[in-house]
Amino acid sequence: MNKKKRHITKRILLLLLAIILYEAVGACLPFAVQKPVSDSYKKKFNVSSFRGNGAEKERAGIIETNKGALDTRLAMFQEAKKSIVISTFDIREGKSTDDTFSALLDAADRGVKVQVLVDGLYGMLHMNGKTVFQAAGSHPNLEIRFYNEPNFLKPWTINGRLHDKYVAVDGSLLLMGGRNMFDYFIGDDSRSSIGYDREVLLYSQNDGSKEGAIPQVLSYFHKLWDSSDCKTVFNGSSSKKEVKAEIKYLSSRYEKIKKQLPEKTDWTKKTVPVKKAVFVTNPTHIGNKEPYVWYTMQQLMLTAKNDVTIQTPYAVFSEDMYQGMEELTSKVPNVEMLVNSTAVGDNFIASSDYTRNRSKVLETGPKVYEFFGDHSCHGKSIAIDNDLSVIGSYNFDMRSTYLDTETMLVLEGKELNRELRGHMSHLKSQSLKVNSDGTYVPKHGVEKKDIPSSKKLIFKVSSVFIQLFRYLA
């Protein structure tokens, strides 16, 4: 009997090992080799298409604070007459989410068509089973879909994620950047646990024209929305007791919010003119992707005559990215990169990789500044000379480059560029410049934060192990 039990136990362990191996290999192997940009994409790419030569019909402004991010969304939703589209990587329960969905339900009650697209993995983790999302999805005018809900029988579906973050209203207002939609990124700036981030608000005066960035964004959104990779969720009945109670609560919550909102927002006062705005994306399928966004960013940066400033939360470079950065620093006189120090960074895998490959990043030639502020910095932006600004969801890491969907907005305009550089300078004032040998240049008022010994040891070990699958970071 004991021998039989041992035999069964052995078989079960072997089966579990086989399942784990299948999941690990299936999730990682398809992405282990990175695709180059195809010749066809290179041929149709033209840097001059990012420059404007006509009347300035679009205006833009930067939303830098978490409170501003929520206030802007609520104002946009209040003015919506026809449509609201939202695409985001991650939504979670919280105060800002209650505010957001109370406003969305009010818009849906007014007859506005509301569409919310969320990454499938993070939707499964943070939205399933939550009454607020069930209440929202039960409304006939409000639909929520997940992009690529992972199928663990097909583990290669785990890593192709939707990383887009934008909101568009009535074809005239667009908010795009790096913010996920929950309390860490949106709402009260005074809380102890928040992330710094950035978005750009685009206001279009194209009067229904199909030209401009907002029509590009809407076309991209509907392409994804209608794809076989997306499915509708939370579309059940609103008759359940807890759902009815949630709808009532959200309705009463919005009545209070509405009293604090302006009746009408003057969007021209929140924005400055831009000559042109162009929308840039990665491919939309769930597999290994050609690096469209990275290639576009690199080519635009190479047009700089004097200066490029990159802000990215993480720096996890592929060999092509290392070479691209070397080419950039060899051609542009001043290239700066602002990145989180490992002491404040909130991405364990990216921080582990940076611990090991920091010297390689420095060797590519940019002036690297590590941020030592009170919170982690999640913004993703590029300032090119004094007139091009790029803001969106793309991190300078391998996941954003080869795995995820990504969205960036390229804007031409000197006033906006000055505004962006002002925000970057504020963050830079809380950062330390890194010498080529890895030490820091001292700065009055900025204290280097030491990593606890236990965390240092973890990073030392994990940074070696992570090299096996750093392409997923």
265-299 pLDDT, tens per residue? Answer: 999 999 999 999 999 999 999 999 999 999 999 99
Residue, of 218 and 6, whose pLDDT is higher: 218
Instruction: Return d(Cα 452, Cα 449) in angstroms, integer.
Output: 9
State the pLDDT at residue 28: 93
> Is there a contact between 366 and 398 (Cβ–Cβ < 8 Å)?
no
In this predicted structure, what is the pLDDT of residue 9? 87
For every residue of 257-276, DSSP letters joined together read HHTTS-SS--TTTT-EEESE
How far apart, in whole angstroms, are the C-alpha atoms of residue 315 and residue 428? 16
Three-class SS state of 50: helix
Mean pLDDT computed over 66-90: 97
At 403 the pLDDT is: 97
Contact between 103 and 261 under an 8 Å Cβ cutoff? The reply is: no
325 bridge partner residues: none
Distances (CA, A) of 217 to 60, 379, 469: 15, 20, 32
pLDDT confidence of residue 308: 98
Predicted pLDDT of residue 131: 95
| H or E element at residue 184 | none
DSSP, residue by residue, 225-251: HTSTTEEEES-S-S-SHHHHHHHHHHH
What percent of the chain has a predicted confidence (pLDDT) above 90?
88
Residue 1 has pLDDT above 60, yes or no: no
Range 109-123 average pLDDT: 98
Four-point Cα dihedral 231, 234, 237, 241, nearest 10: 170
Q: Does the structure show a pLDDT above 60 at 393?
A: yes
Q: In angstroms, how far is the first alpha carbon of the chain from the final one?
A: 48
Q: How many other CB atoms are there within 10 angstroms of residue 147's CB atom?
A: 27
Rounded CA separation 328/303 (Å): 9
CB 282 within 8 A of CB 291: yes
Contacts of 409 (CB under 8 A, 6+ apart): 174, 176, 200, 202, 213, 277, 278, 279, 280, 390, 391, 392
Residue 239 has pLDDT above 80, yes or no: no
CB 137 within 8 Å of CB 129: no
What's the pLDDT tens digit per position in 448-468? 998 888 888 888 889 999 999
- Lowest mean per-residue pLDDT among 150-154, 325-329, 367-371: 150-154
Give residue 436's pLDDT.
94
Contact 184, 42 (CB under 8 A): no
> What is the percent of the chain where pLDDT is above 70?
99
Please tell me the predicted confidence (pLDDT) of residue 207.
Answer: 62
The number of CA neighbours under 13 Å toward the Cβ of 193 is: 4
Three-state secondary-structure class, residue 173: strand
Query: What would the mean pLDDT of 36-56 be, rounded to a whole number?
Result: 90
Q: What is the pLDDT of residue 209?
A: 67
Which residue carries 């029988």 as its tokens? 153
| 48 burial type by CB count under 10 A (0-12 exposed, 13-18 middle, 19+ buried) | exposed
Tokens, residue 73: 């969304």
CB 96 within 8 A of CB 127: no
Find out whether 216 and 415 touch, Cβ atoms under 8 Å.
no
pLDDT, position 452: 85
Rounded Cα gap, residues 51 and 275, in angstroms: 7
The token pair that represents 11 in the structure block:
């078989």
| pLDDT on residue 238 | 73
H or E element, residue 28: helix 2-28
